[in-house]
């Protein structure tokens, strides 16, 4: 029986491939688990149409992220923080703080897209990486200054 794989299946193929499998394997394993569809002309046409729509949407999303990255590359943000002896910060500057600073400038970036290895705990200038899309990243200059 020929089936269209909806998901990657180990030792069988990648999602989107049309493969020949045993009838019982298709009826008892692949189709009930929603890993495959029977490869009829109608199903193949519908799958190709859905695949093209998803590819177009993903392309639009990536282009939008690339445009946002170009805008963010020109952006510089400043965090004014309270400091103690030896210019040590009270607390730290976290991904949430950076997302809030970007929001004040009109860029709605989720805190989970801010890539910090650890919170910032000292004054200075930092380069912060933003993961806007799996294939698009942007860097923003962050100034940590005394309040």
Both tokens assigned to 45? 């046409």
Does the pLDDT at position 88 exceed 90? no
Question: Percent of the chain scored above 90 by pLDDT?
Answer: 88
Mode of pairing for the β-strands spanning 76-81 and 136-146: parallel
For the stretch 92-120, pLDDT in tens is 999 999 999 999 999 999 999 999 999 99
pLDDT given for residue 84 in this prediction: 86
- Three-state secondary-structure class, residue 36: strand
Does the pLDDT at position 20 exceed 90? yes
**Is 0.85 surpassed by the pTM of this model?**
no
Q: What CATH fold (topology level) applies to the domain 2-66?
A: Ribosomal Protein L9; domain 1 (3.40.5)
Does the pLDDT at position 85 exceed 90? no
pLDDT given for residue 41 in this prediction: 95
Backbone phi, psi, residue 101, to 5°: -65, -40
Does the pLDDT at position 86 exceed 90? no
Distance between CA atoms of residues 114 and 94, nearest Å: 9
Does the pLDDT at position 147 exceed 90? no
Summary count for the chain: helices (H), strands (E): 3, 9
- Provide the CATH number for the domain formed by 74-146 in this structure: 3.10.430.100
For the stretch 66-80, pLDDT in tens is 999 999 999 999 999
Domain boundaries, the chain: 2-66, 74-146
């Amino acid at each position: 029986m020929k089936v269209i794989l909806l998901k990657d299946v180990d030792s069988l193929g990648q999602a989107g491939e049309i493969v020949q499998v045993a009838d019982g394997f298709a009826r008892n394993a692949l189709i009930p688990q929603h890993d495959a569809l029977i490869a009829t002309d109608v199903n193949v046409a519908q799958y190709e149409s859905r695949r093209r729509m998803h590819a177009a949407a993903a392309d639009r999303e990536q282009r939008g992220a690339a445009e946002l990255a170009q805008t963010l590359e020109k952006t510089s943000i400043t965090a004014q923080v309270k400091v103690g002896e030896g210019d040590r910060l009270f607390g730290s500057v976290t991904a949430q703080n950076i997302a809030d600073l970007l929001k004040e400038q009109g860029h709605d970036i989720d805190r989970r897209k801010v890539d910090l290895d650890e919170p910032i705990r000292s004054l200075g200038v930092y380069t912060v990486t933003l993961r806007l899309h799996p294939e698009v990243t942007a860097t923003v200059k962050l100034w940590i200054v005394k309040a």
